[in-house]
Amino acid sequence: MKNFKYFIKKSAIFEVVKFNSMKKLIVLTLFHILFLFPVYCQEKIKISEDIELIKLTANTFLSVSYGDISGYGRVASNELIFTNNKEAILFNTPIKDSLTKTLVTWLNDKMGLKVTAFVANHWHDDCIGGLNYLHGRNIKSYANKVTIDIARAKGKAVPQNGFSDSLKLMLDDKEILCYYLGAAHSTDNIVVWIPSEKLLFPGCMCKSIDSQNLGNTADGDLKEYPKTIDRVISKFPSAEIVIPGHGAWGGKELLLHTKSLANK
């Protein structure tokens, strides 16, 4: 009888454990459905072997370009395209001029979009690697003044127009706001906020949800990183779309995930 009671108790505990495990599985499944399913189900337009385009909203597209980065191999990088009345602003370029030419030419020829301005997130090649090509097409460029100083010192293409704390641009009647909120991935990295789309582009300071670490921080500031992410989280509570520099886009959970990585 004693053994029978023990068996019942043990079975009950097993059932509770099994139930809790099932709850965790259901929660994880729902997470993937809610946050990752929209990412994988979006239509991808293949521009070339190295560039694909994903429509995010009626006025925004995510460009994913592939290029070789020293020490990392072939890497996918994100660029943002904001459009309005057949004009477009590009945020970050693919890693080199030839890829940037492919992207801008395709936007012009296939979508009838004229790229009129460019904004760099920071000074690395996955942000300004195609800047010479843009300047050759008389496309105005903007960046943090620190980005301009570093690019000049390193012999890279130099953005034309600088700002210190913030920059407001207009694309016809649509507003674009750029802010420098502190060092993180790099000492000059900025964030871009497009209110009409509730879209935030923090670039490489923000990590994708599957990232296990902060990646390349050789030119960043690990002490300031979590403070900067906190400022970003506080400043944009209404952000619905958040785009990292690499990997799948998501929502504010990407910023919280990045904060967790930065605090380690």
Residue 186's identity, in one-letter code, is: S
Question: Catalytic pick from 121, 126, 178, 189?
Answer: 126
> How many other CB atoms are there within 10 angstroms of residue 96's CB atom?
18
Question: Catalytic pick from 96, 122, 174, 259?
Answer: 122
The question of whether 204 is a catalytic residue gets the answer yes
Instruction: Name, in order, each residue with C-beta under 8 angstroms of 103's C-beta and a sequence gap of 6 or more.
Output: 47, 51, 63, 65, 79, 90, 93, 94, 130
Question: Catalytic pick from 50, 84, 121, 124?
Answer: 124
Question: Catalytic pick from 84, 125, 127, 185?
Answer: 185
The question of whether 257 is a catalytic residue gets the answer no
* Bridge partners of residue 263, in order along the sequence: none
The question of whether 41 is a catalytic residue gets the answer no
The pair of three-digit structure tokens given for residue 212, joined into one six-digit string: 């296990």
Q: What is the DSSP string of 41-102?
A: HS-EEEEETTEEEEE-SSSEEEEEEEEEETTTEEEEEEEEEEEETTEEEEES--SSHHHHHH
Widest Cα–Cα separation across the chain? 89
Question: Catalytic pick from 96, 174, 207, 257?
Answer: 207
The question of whether 32 is a catalytic residue gets the answer no
The question of whether 216 is a catalytic residue gets the answer yes
Total residues found in the chain within this entry: 264
Question: Catalytic pick from 204, 206, 257, 259?
Answer: 204
Question: Catalytic pick from 174, 246, 257, 259?
Answer: 246
Q: Which residues are catalytic?
A: 122, 124, 126, 185, 204, 207, 216, 246
